[in-house]
Amino acid sequence: MNEIIKRCINHKVPFVSYMILHLLYNEEQDVLVNYCINVSKIETKEFLWLIDNKYLEEVKNRDLIIVEDLVLTDKFSSEILKITNTKNITFDVAFDQLRNHFPSKAGNSERRLQGDPPRCKRLYQNIIMKNDKIDVELHSMILQCINYEINVKTKSRSLEYFKLLTTWLQQKEYELYIKDVEEVIKKNGSVNIASNGGFSEDV
């Protein structure tokens, strides 16, 4: 089943409502307007449902809703897309998020991947800290690159070949997957780890 349809069913979100959220999340308000003009006008009740269910912020006028008034809350990204919140975080939190995403061991083997945490921390600091500030976009991209690699290696049954976190960071392995991840984000909004142990349809 298509990943988007599964999300709609699992979270009881109407398909048109999901389309609205997806387009707003990807800052494609022009596509939403184009859809309303050339395909079908979206009824006000669709937007009100999203507002009442906390997917959109309250608008100034519920009787006359315009695209410019539509503002996403964090609910779509956190609950449906399952994207780790990277806003206003400290480096320590960012590093914990990295370790939570990265496998602790290689496949079914006992080879541990997250040894030497202090060195991993220094390497990651050099990657995502710019002028004493966290590059949150890069941090979020790296987390999704980890998800993508997990899915790739799960499909090919090669999880045991995952590199040590120190090596992965030093060699900037995430750069191998950035273009692929960008395509997935453009299409589906995020890269999730396949829930069935196979290859996620997000990838």
6-22 residue pLDDT tens: 888 988 999 999 999 98
| Distance from chain centroid for Cα 75 | 12
Indicate whether 132 belongs to any domain.
yes
Q: Give the Cα separation of 132 and 148 in Å (integer).
A: 28
The verdict on 109 and 183 lying in the same domain is yes
Would you call 186 exposed, middle or buried from its count of C-beta atoms within 10 A (0-12, 13-18, 19+)? exposed
Q: Is 20 exposed, middle or buried (0-12, 13-18, 19+ CB in 10 A)?
A: buried
201, part of any domain = no
* pLDDT in the model for residue 185: 80
Separation of alpha carbons 58 and 72, rounded Å = 10
Could you tell me the residue range of the domain that residue 65 belongs to? 3-80
Query: Would you state the pLDDT for residue 200?
Result: 42
Are 105 and 57 part of one and the same domain? Answer: no
- Residues 62, 99: one domain? no
Q: Which two tokens stand for residue 5?
A: 């349809």
Closest CA to 176 of 202, 145, 144: 145
**47/64 Cα distance (integer angstroms):** 11
- Give the global pTM: 0.61
| Tokens coding 51 | 């507002």
Reduced to 3 states, what is the DSSP secondary structure of residue 200?
coil
The answer to which of 35-49, 70-84, 130-144, 169-183 has the lowest mean pLDDT is 70-84
Same domain? 171 vs 123: yes
* 48-84 pLDDT per residue, tens: 999 999 999 999 899 889 899 899 998 887 788 777 6
Question: pLDDT higher for 114 or 5?
Answer: 114
Alpha-carbon distance values, 156 to 78, 123, 151, 196, 200 (Å) = 29, 28, 9, 14, 12
Residue 111 has a pLDDT of: 93
The answer to whether residues 44 and 111 belong to one domain is no
Q: What percent of the chain has pLDDT over 70?
A: 90
Predicted confidence at residue 6, as pLDDT, reads: 81
- Please tell me the least confidently modeled range out of 53-62, 84-93, 118-127: 84-93
Number of structural domains found in the chain:
2
* pLDDT in the model for residue 203: 38
